[in-house]
Structure 1
Amino acid sequence: MIKSNLHAACLAYVQERIDACQAAIQAAQESANSETKSSAGDKYETGRAMAQNERDRNAVQLQQARQLLGELQRINPELPCDAVRPGALVRTSMGVFYLGISAGKLTVEGQDYFAVSAAAPVAVALAGKRAGEEAVFNGRKIRVEAVE
């Protein structure tokens, strides 16, 4: 149940990013469209170039958010995990991690969790570990207490 709620929170996080990028792209497009050619042609061209740069930057961020969405869609939070891998909920001596995407700290049902990608350094250190095993991360031992 918790994994499903964490997965849903990650999906909501990505959807918010997608929506924000799309809104920013639309705003930049409207800004470029509203630029009127004046006698100072350079000002017009500069405004249009700035709007184009803004659109391009937001298009890159939108593509990244869509890639995150794709990563999440490949994870089935209903599958049980007995080792640390994408989709696992990992309780450790350092905190509780959900391996999905890097969404940072999420609070679900009153408890804090850290959503990290499988490529995050802590996830790499824990990869393949099972409950009761230890890993070293940043020179500190981390004990895996449970994997769900």
Structure 2
Amino acid sequence: MIVKELKTALFEQCFQVVEKRHQKIKQTISDIEESLLEETSSSAGDKHETGRAMLQIDRENAGRQLLEVENLQALVKKIDIRATSDYARLGSLIYTNQGAYFIGISIGAVAIGKTTYMCVALHSPIGNQLSGKKKGDVFLFNNLEYTVTQVS
């Protein structure tokens, strides 16, 4: 598989993960709002007020999660997989003696063909180490020596 196809496949994986999270959170918010409406039409009393308060807390938490996933969506939109560079940056595919990495968002391991790629965020610990590296650069991470063999 050529580099362009690999980067496209890895980008699509990142995009799909974020979209699934977004849809799940929106569904959760919808379910909570529906429960709030049902709670409003039920009988009054302490149990009723406690139920409403718990649902309000759940809705606030889901709202925060929605904001986080919307920030991830914005980050994914900034990934330019067509750009080429001799140094590692957002959207880069980096091969090292310890593994292959795609700098996008942190979704973990993605297998494509016989190779497993680690999709990492630029500001994750390994992303910080990879950022700005060029072919031949060496760095230590978790007491392992990494040598960059290719940046695409």
CA contact (8 A) 2:88 2:130 kept: yes
Question: Which of 39, 43, 49 pairs up with 1:38?
Answer: 43
Give the superposition deviation at 1:94: 1.9
For the residues of structure 1 that align with 2:53 and 2:46, how far apart are their CA atoms?
10
SS across alignment from 1:7: helix
Matched residue, 2:53: 49
Per-residue CA distance 1:53-97 (angstroms, 9 max, x = gap):
111111111111111111111111111231111110011122111
SS across alignment from 1:102: coil
Could you state the TM-score of these two structures normalised by the residue count of structure 1? Answer: 0.93
Q: How many residues align?
A: 147
SS across alignment from 2:80: coil
Matched residue, 2:100: 96
Q: Percent identity?
A: 31
For the residues of structure 2 that align with 1:55 and 1:111, how far apart are their CA atoms?
40
For the residues of structure 1 that align with 2:133 and 2:96, how far apart are their CA atoms?
11
Q: How does 1:110-121 map to 2 (within 5 A)?
A: 110-121=114-125
**Equivalent residue letter for 1:86:** L
Structure 2 unmatched runs, 5+? none
Could you state the TM-score of these two structures normalised by the residue count of structure 2? Answer: 0.91
Structure 1 unmatched runs, 5+? none
SS across alignment from 1:22: helix
Give the superposition deviation at 1:110: 4.8
For the residues of structure 1 that align with 2:66 and 2:114, how far apart are their CA atoms?
30
Matched residue, 1:8: 12
For the residues of structure 1 that align with 2:35 and 2:108, how far apart are their CA atoms?
33
More off after superposition, 95-104 vs 106-115: 106-115
Per-residue CA distance 1:93-146 (angstroms, 9 max, x = gap):
221111011111222345321111110111111221111211111222111111
RMSD: 1.3
Question: Which of 80, 85, 88 pairs up with 2:89?
Answer: 85
**Equivalent residue letter for 1:90:** I
SS across alignment from 1:54: helix
